[in-house]
Structure 1
Amino acid sequence: MEPRKRVYLDHNASAPLLPGARTAMADVLALTGNPNSVHAEGRALRKHIEDARTAIARLAGAQTTRAAFTGSATEAITQAIVGAARAGAIDRIITSTGEHKAVLKAAAAAGVPVNEVALSADGVIETAALGKVIADADVAGETVLVAVHWVNNETGVIQPLDEIEALLADTQHFLFVDAVQAFGKLPMKFAASRIDMAAVSAHKIAGPAGVGALFMKARCDKFVLIPGGGQEQGRRGGTESAALIAGFGKAAQDLAGAYDLERVSALTDQVERLIETHAPDAEIFGRRALRLGTTVNFAVPGLANATAMIGFDLGGVALSAGSACSSGKVSKSHVLKAMGVADEMAQCALRVSLGWTTTEADIEFFEKVLVGILAQRKSGRGAAA
């Protein structure tokens, strides 16, 4: 009996591992030693780490020495935000109401005042309001850390980084960018930008989970979260996981050959069209804003996302109800709330996210399962929100 077909449409949560990354990890796992040892075994592992550092720095448009490996993007985010506060470099944090929870929780834990700037109904940060908070900080003689994401993980909305950088031009303030969803998909020029720090993650670019990186300009080198034994040029203590890092580096090298954003965007457009065809009353969130062509966040009135996700999973389609950082729970989206979406619609929100493995056949299969779920809803057999 042939295995039942499965279609994976949850790339924003974690992208399927590239074959080269898997091979790179296996090769390093066959080695013995500590990458910080000076003997031949240690030097062999160190070479894998430094080769990976070069690869991810190239993808970020950064100097190789400006990348520090971490255990995850969440750790990198926390190091940037909490580390800046612990170093006494900032008096205030400015973020938005729609940031990833990793940013919001790090800001809450930093021990300095936090301002959360509102999002528009399209999911875009209100730059005029952001500018006012920055100006008020200038008057008060405060140094602030502005912490914003580049691409929202739930809606795919791209934030106006150029405008945000312009607000901080010729100031002493710091800019941290959560670049997790943008890395490897949008052109990144860290070295030439006004960005002081940027967090990225391996498993979002088809590398392994359990490793991330923080890009840091020189003035942020003292923003340390884990002092440890001086690894990563003193910016992140703890023996590096050479195998995971090697997988990260190989994914960064191979992504361009495996990932065609134009092709993925065309498939994403196809998803939106078929949703509109089969569910004319559906709402697609953030559609009037500039979005990365990987994500469709939509809601069909009366179709609870918890029920719909079960239907999709049983039908062979993996998708999500938003962020995958809630320990398997389906909870209300704070991002949609920040966009002013009514609770009854937010409880129906589903996220389809595409990537390097997605094919047109996958979208056709998604359509078939969607039609079946909508038919159940129409007949009254699907639970309403």
Structure 2
Amino acid sequence: MTGTPKKVYLDYNATSPIINEIADLYSNGELFFGNPSSIHFAGRHSRSLVNSCRRSLAKFLSAKEENIFFTSGATEANALIINGIVSSGTVESVLCTSIEHPSVLDNVPSKNHLKVLPNGQIDLENLEHVLQKYSSRVLVSLMFANNETGIIQPIKETADLVHKYNGLIFSDAAQAFGRLSFDINSLGLDFISISAHKFGGPQGVGALISREIVDFNPLYAGGGQERFKRAGTENTQGILGLKIALEKLPKYYNSEEIDKLRIRFEEKLLQKRPDAVIFGDGIERLPNTTCIALPGISSETQVIRLDLEGYAVSAGSACSSGKISPSHVLLSMGVDDKIAKCAIRVSMGPETKWEELEGFLEIWSNF
């Protein structure tokens, strides 16, 4: 009789395990926060915690404190800037690439979806052609690194091109933040969004960060929180968790070591299954992400069989109600539909061990 298989988590791009210091904070039974808008001692204490996180995040990104707006995560932040900047009249329209996260794609008309090259990066020549058609300012949304393939976009080059035509650029940086070192000023990014749960923080908290003061409307009315841009009582517990995760990042996430692990993993993978396809091979990617297809074996079959063996991986975005369908990212890259239907994503984290990856390969290579 076989026992329960060991659980191995390889889905860090969906969410990362909360770091121990935050888990301890949440489980000690002594958490009490006042409303940050209240003027009494409990409210003032909560306000100081929120503001301390704002300061830490501003310093981390070389941004300004007053340009940081806390949200429930990147999905809300994405909707906030995309819808709010159009309704305010600051821009005429929003453009985005066809490989964006659904929280961006679903907020931008399909006619405004931009082409990407077969390597998964934005087609800058096509972008310039599109920008030339607009007489008014537009916002271009380009994710920093793709959540499915890990492919990193040419952010600086795109920002320079967008600014050449007096446009603004926004980047969903949920996957890149904490895994790649950057600041919004040197890259010329006008806005970015982040989610705490992608880098060891709690779920349900994130932020929209603006490089300069640019007018945009809130998604809804109801309060003056976050300088009237995001109504509702701030999630003080979540924001404090974000701050702790931010402080622990240098020790928690070693990109160089994880990158070495991924490279070794991919080399071994191709040795065992030469017929496998690694998407983005040869292109700069996130240190932790491998998107692979095993021709003839559907994504769903792979995910289920691996789950039964105790391995957690995914197929496509985790924000798709559990549906497994051909990746819109891979299809946008021109990948054949039959191959796209056989793709899964392995995303590693600080806790991932080589022995776990070896175990994965032993099972997966025999499919």
Report the TM-score, using the length of structure 1 for normalisation.
Answer: 0.91
Unaligned residue ranges in structure 2 (runs of 5+): none
Mapping of residues 1-385 of structure 1, within 5 Å? 4-26=5-27, 30-108=31-109, 114-137=111-134, 141-371=135-365, 374=366, 377=367
Q: Distance in 2 between matches of 1:356 and 1:228?
A: 40
d(CA) in 1 for partners of 2:216, 2:313: 40
Q: Which 5+ residue runs of structure 1 have no aligned equivalent?
A: 378-385
Question: Partners in 2 of 1:91 and 1:225 — Cα distance?
Answer: 17
Q: CA–CA distance in 1 between the matches of 2:27 and 2:187?
A: 36
Would you say the 8 A contact 1:229–1:238 is kept in 2?
yes
CA distance in 2, matches of 1:46, 1:27: 21
8 Å CA contact 1:93–1:114 kept in 2: the answer is no
Q: 1:341 to 1:239 in 2, by over 3 A?
A: same
Kept in 2, the 8 Å contact 1:7–1:316? The answer is yes
Q: Secondary structure at the match of 2:300?
A: helix
- In 2 relative to 1, CA 355–160 (structure 1 residues): closer, same or farther, beyond 3 Å? same
Query: Given that residues 284 and 298 in structure 1 are in contact (C-alpha distance below 8 angstroms), is that contact kept between their aligned partners in structure 2?
Result: yes
Q: TM-score, normalised by structure 2?
A: 0.95
Alpha-carbon distance, 1:214 to partner: 0.1
Q: Distance in 1 between matches of 2:124 and 2:212?
A: 27
Aligned 8 A contact 1:61 1:188 in 2 = no
SS of the residue 2:338 aligns to:
helix
Shift in Å, 1:133: 1.1
Whole-angstrom CA distance in 2 between matches of 1:207 and 1:246:
9
- 1:36 CA drift (Å): 1.0
1:51, CA displacement in angstroms? 1.8
Residue 32 and residue 204 in structure 1: after superposition, are their counterparts in 2 closer, same or farther (change >3 A)? closer
Q: Is residue 63–residue 191 contact of structure 1 (8 Å, CA) maintained in 2?
A: no
CA contact (8 A) 2:179 2:287 kept: no
Distance 2:77 2:28 in 1: 26
CA apart distance, 1:63: 1.8
What amino acid is aligned across from residue 34 of structure 1 in structure 2? N
Structure 1 residue identity aligned to 2:78: I
Going from structure 1 to structure 2, the CA distance change for 1:135 and 1:253 (only over 3 Å counts) comes to same
Q: CA deviation at 1:29?
A: 6.3
In 2, Cα distance between equivalents of 1:197 and 1:100: 16
Query: What is the rounded CA distance, in whole Å, between the counterparts of 1:38 and 1:148 in structure 2?
Result: 40
